């Protein structure tokens, strides 16, 4: 078949055709395997390693509230201030992800793929262990950092008021809104996790874009929101019962459904339903049937 009949651009040299091949984006199956492998590595980590990394991530996520509060306190009142202050929401995510700390809805999503690939009792047990340890570590870190931000003489009174306003805005949501916005937030984090392996050089911009949109849309996230709402608790405006029942429970369930179930399940099904396989993915006995380049016809 000629180049014109095959649809290929005529006149390309062998080197140019190779360059075209090398510049193709990775197949969905490749991204799936990268994330699945990362998840399997996370599942193998010890409880102590997971907890301390998750605790560090919870503390680091205080940067999001800190940055937003500092922006709001120095911007004029109005809707336009949220457009700028929402950039601060990304600070915690950038620090946590680039430092490779354990963040619920981010590293915990990658751990879902090994379970979907091989749904054994052992893998389900490892997944629940990871989720439990990371969630406890994250929440312990966020509650601790919010206490420090409120009680130590670090910020001026205008910034302290801005911190309270951020938390109050979260608690304006009812249970259904907490849950629904949590689904969107979990789905957006899952999208970010899926995008990063294919565009590692643009990692910072991907994190910034996704998390900025999360803040702009007021979507609820269990870890960042825990900093914001626990600040209200320490200030005496909200009870611990309201923290756990009105915020944490519906947001957590929404994050898990949006990220781990909806996105991961659909992405996994997409790859498993793809019947096309590259030669290297063929079973060993089929590879032997391929004609050898060293043999003469």
Q: What is the pLDDT of residues 27-81, one digit of tens each?
A: 667 777 777 888 888 899 999 999 999 999 999 999 999 999 999 999 998 888 9
Say if 267 falls within a structural domain. Answer: yes
- 191 lies in some domain: yes
In contact, 124 and 117? CB cutoff 8 Å = no
The rounded percent of the chain whose pLDDT value lies above 70 is 78
pLDDT of residue 294: 42
Asked whether residue 289 is domain-assigned, the answer is: no
283 within some domain: no
Residue 218 has pLDDT above 50, yes or no: yes
Rounded to the nearest 10 degrees, what angle do helices 90-98 and 47-60 cross at? 150
* pLDDT score at 98: 95
Taking a C-beta distance cutoff of 8 angstroms, is the pair 106, 187 a contact?
A: no
CATH number, domain of 190, equals 1.20.1080.10
pLDDT tops 70 at residue 279: no
Domain membership flag for residue 282: no
**DSSP string of 173-232?**
S-HHHHHHHHHHHHHHHHHHHHHGGGGGGGHHHHHHHHHHHHHHTT---HHHHHHHHHHH
pLDDT score of 275 = 46
106 within domain boundaries: yes
Domain count, the chain: 1
Residue 219 in any domain: the answer is: yes
Whether 54 maps to a domain, the answer reads: yes
For residue 88, is pLDDT > 90? yes
pLDDT recorded at residue 198: 79
Classify each residue of 49-59 as buried b or exposed e, where b means 16 or more C-beta atoms within 10 Å of its C-beta: ebbbbbbbbbb
Q: Give the domain range for residue 198.
A: 26-274
Is the entire prediction scored with pTM above 0.95? no
Least confident of 19-28, 61-70, 115-124, 257-266: 19-28
pLDDT the model gives residue 77: 87
**Average pLDDT across the chain, whole number:** 85
* Statement: residue 281 has pLDDT above 90: no
Q: How confident is the model at residue 8 (pLDDT cuts 50, 70, 90)?
A: low
**pLDDT over 80 at 5, yes or no:** no
User: Residue range 186-209: average pLDDT?
Assistant: 90
């Amino acid at each position: 078949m000629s180049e014109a009949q095959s649809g290929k651009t005529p006149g390309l040299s062998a080197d140019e055709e190779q360059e075209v091949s090398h510049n193709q984006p990775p197949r969905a199956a490749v991204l799936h395997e990268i994330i699945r492998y990362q998840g399997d590595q996370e599942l193998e980590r010890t409880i102590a390693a997971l907890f301390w990394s998750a605790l560090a991530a919870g503390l680091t996520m205080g940067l999001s509230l800190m940055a937003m509060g500092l922006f709001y306190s120095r911007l004029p009142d109005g809707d336009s201030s949220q457009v700028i202050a929402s950039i601060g929401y990304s600070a915690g995510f950038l620090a946590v992800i680039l430092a490779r700390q354990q963040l619920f809805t981010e590293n915990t999503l990658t751990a879902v793929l090994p379970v979907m690939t091989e749904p054994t009792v052992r893998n389900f047990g490892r997944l629940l262990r990871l989720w439990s340890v990371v969630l406890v570590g994250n929440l312990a870190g966020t509650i601790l950092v919010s206490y420090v931000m409120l009680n130590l003489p670090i910020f001026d009174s205008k910034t302290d008021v801005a911190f309270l306003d951020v938390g109050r805005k979260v608690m304006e949501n009812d249970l259904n809104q907490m849950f629904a916005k949590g689904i969107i937030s979990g789905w957006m984090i899952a999208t970010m996790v899926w995008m990063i392996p294919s565009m590692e050089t643009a990692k910072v911009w991907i994190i910034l874009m996704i998390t900025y949109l999360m803040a702009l849309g007021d979507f609820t996230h269990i870890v960042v929101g825990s900093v914001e709402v626990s600040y209200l608790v320490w200030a005496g405006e909200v009870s611990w019962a309201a923290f756990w029942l009105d915020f944490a429970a519906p947001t957590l369930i929404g994050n898990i459904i949006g990220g781990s179930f909806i996105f991961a399940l659909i992405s996994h099904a997409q790859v498993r339903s793809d019947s096309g396989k590259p030669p290297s993915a063929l079973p060993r006995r089929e590879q032997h049937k391929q004609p050898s380049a060293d043999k003469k016809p």
